[in-house]
Structure 1
Amino acid sequence: MIASAPYLLSRSLEKHLIPNFGMLRDFLRCDKSTVTAIRRSPRILLQGFEATVNPVVKILRDNGVRESSIVWLVKCQSRTMITSCNRLEEIVEKTKGMGFDDPSAAKFAVAMLAVMGMSESTWERKLDAYSKWGWSRDDAMSAFVKSPWCMTLSEEKITAVMGFFVEEMGFESSFLLRHPRLMSLSLEKRIRPRCLVFKHLASQGLMKTKIGLTTLLTIYEEDFLEKFLIPHIGEAPELLDIYREEKHKATGALVP
């Protein structure tokens, strides 16, 4: 961090760096989170907590954004929030106008980041990426309101996930319109391995429960293994090989 921000060495350790680190730590309530925020924006230490973080926190609190979301934004998006502080009020209002009328909702912070981080041309490119799979602009905006992460994805990720569900799994693109949060899951690490297990179970008539694919994709890894893989190894031992191979492709690590 010092190598990338050597100007920090010019500030007094006792009078400036330590007190400002302390103020940020008091707000985030965690040393690790404090270091994360500073790594993302060393300006916090250079210019001070009061000049950088405090104005952001005040604007968000005044607009009703929930405290846990404010902490997350300061920790994980400190650079973006600080550099956008002078137009934060405008961003909050624009986000509300896009269908997010409750700033205290958890997804409001994610929607803000999407609005904040994209130019009009980037926004249009993402709408175009969805339109290639049959979504209208209204469809894309409806999905955005349900799960704002879907508009933070790259056009390449949108195309890859849509292509997998439509071309490999045989779903209509409207399936993802109903469940847009699936778009943000990792295709290689989660969607593909679990979907191939699901597909194999269904083809062998081993899906005894009516649990939906969305649940299968969103439950914790341990629950997925216990409910969908381990109970069927005796009847379909190849399941383990299918899952191991896909996870190995994604992570490069062998799955026990």
Structure 2
Amino acid sequence: MFKIYRRTSLGCAKFFELTTLKWNPLFQFCRATSTSNSSSFVVSYLVNNCAFSQKTALKASRNLHFSKPQNPDSVLSFFRNHAFSNSHISHILQRVPQLLSYNTQKVLLPKFEFFRSKGASSLDIIHAVTACPYFLRRSLENHIIPTYDFIRGFLPPLFTDKQIIDFLIRNPWLLYESRGVVNLKLLLDSGVPGSNIVKLHRRWCRLLCSGDISKTVQELKQMGFDASLSTFCIALVAKRNLGESKWAEKIDTYKRWGWSQEQVLLAFRRQPYCMLSSCDKINAVMSYWVEQAGFNSVDLVKTPGIILLSLRKRIAPRACVLQFLVSKGLLRKDASLTTPFVLTEKLFLENYVKRFREDSSHLLKLHTEHESWK
């Protein structure tokens, strides 16, 4: 009986001893030390092999864990073997350090091979990865290939695989941001032609990948914009770029020169770029138009594109010619004072300088002298 009790007691003692040992703070210290050593190795590796600063390496090491150089070495070799320079590699890894833990053969290589199969050159791939390395984190099967197929679906049917891949290379954020594809689909469903979307994304891809555009699209339609016209895309860029506060600031600037709210929106529909001009540029053009040329600011509502023109090279020289013609009564009373500003240089000289033979020399002098106006 005593022996049985003794064996049971010893067994319980060992059980409690093991239980106590499992939660011993000493073991937690050991694990913490191990993690600290791993983090220290990562920092050292990033600084010595990837041109990271100490600060950047410390930040990256919080979410990057490896204690041996084999895998990160293979990633560096992979990029070098695909013609990436050391500066390219450092730039890429500082943005996405997690790539150092990737399996090059299973994760990275298939993506490179996919792009090559569609006609991408080594330089194309370098450009895309350097511009947006984040897409290398996306699944080839679940995101990159479906994105490619979607883009192929809305581009003109004559586009080749190489042209489609060129579109994606120029807009690599589409390969990473799901929002970009959602917004593209919204534009198509709203009636924006694929050709206009291509032009839009050549210049403002990041803008459309950065958030939900459905509200802006609805606002533009309520303003009377036709989604099938190129002005719709420009208006979309203007509204997305400005935001509510800057949009209100531009409207107030035009109002100070006598425009009504309705006239501002009318000008915006005719030439959306007029809202992308800086307030300083708007004020400079309006000041010259009204105070020096003596014209009515409301005239520009009909031809708001004039606001985009160079004040020194286009507006001032032609305004001087028109002022002279008006003062001499050489223009019809109903003649447009805005049309001359949007003509080509050749047509302007023919219609407003050479046409008036007796005064052509003086008109040409006025035009030339005011090209240097400041």
Establish whether residue 231 from structure 1 lines up as the match of residue 355 from structure 2: yes
**Is 1:53–1:74's contact at 8 Å kept on the other side of the alignment?**
no
> Does 1:90 find its partner at 2:215?
yes
Shift of residue 18, structure 1, vs aligned partner: 7.8
Q: 2:190 aligns with which of 63, 67, 74?
A: 63
Deviation (angstroms), 1:196: 1.5
Partners of 2:231 and 2:272 within 8 A in 1: yes
Give 1:153 shift. Answer: 1.7
TM-score by length of 2: 0.53
| TM-fit CA distance, 1:214 | 2.1
Which secondary structure state, in structure 2, belongs to the residue aligned with residue 113 of structure 1? helix
Alignment of 1:152-231 (within 5 A): 152-207=276-331, 211-231=335-355
Task: Tell me: CA distance 1:35–1:186, structure 2 relative to 1, closer, same or farther (3 Å).
Answer: farther
Count of matched residue positions in the alignment of Structure 1 and Structure 2: 240
Which 5+ residue runs of structure 2 have no aligned equivalent? 1-84, 94-98, 100-107, 125-147
Report if the CA contact (8 A) 1:37-1:75 is conserved: no
Q: What is the deviation of 1:219?
A: 1.8
Work out whether residues 312 and 372 of structure 2, in 8 Å CA contact, stay in contact via their aligned partners in 1. no
Which segment drifts farther, 200-209 or 171-180?
Answer: 200-209
Which is bigger in relative contact order (C-alpha 8 A, separation at least 6)? Answer: 1
User: How far off its partner does 1:126 sit?
Assistant: 1.0
Q: Distance in 2 between matches of 1:201 and 1:185?
A: 22
Q: CA-atom RMSD, angstroms? A: 3.9
Cα distance in 1 for residues equivalent to 2:315 and 2:168: 30
| Post-superposition offset of 1:221 | 2.3
Contact kept? 1:144, 1:151, Cα under 8 Å: yes
Residue equivalent to 1:78:
205
2:240 is matched with 116
CA contact (8 A) 2:321 2:363 kept: yes
Aligned counterparts of 1:232 and 1:38: Cα–Cα separation in 2: 54
Distance 1:109 1:136, change over 3 A: same
Q: Return 5+ residue gaps in structure 1 as ranges.
A: 251-256
Which deviates more, 10-19 or 227-236? 10-19
Cα offset, 1:143, TM superposition: 2.7
* Percent of aligned pairs sharing the same letter: 31
Matches within 5 A, 1:9-158: 15-16=114-115, 19=118, 27=155, 43=173, 47=175, 54-84=181-211, 87-97=212-222, 99-158=223-282
Q: Distance in 1 between matches of 2:364 and 2:166?
A: 40
Offset at residue 124 of structure 1 (A): 1.6
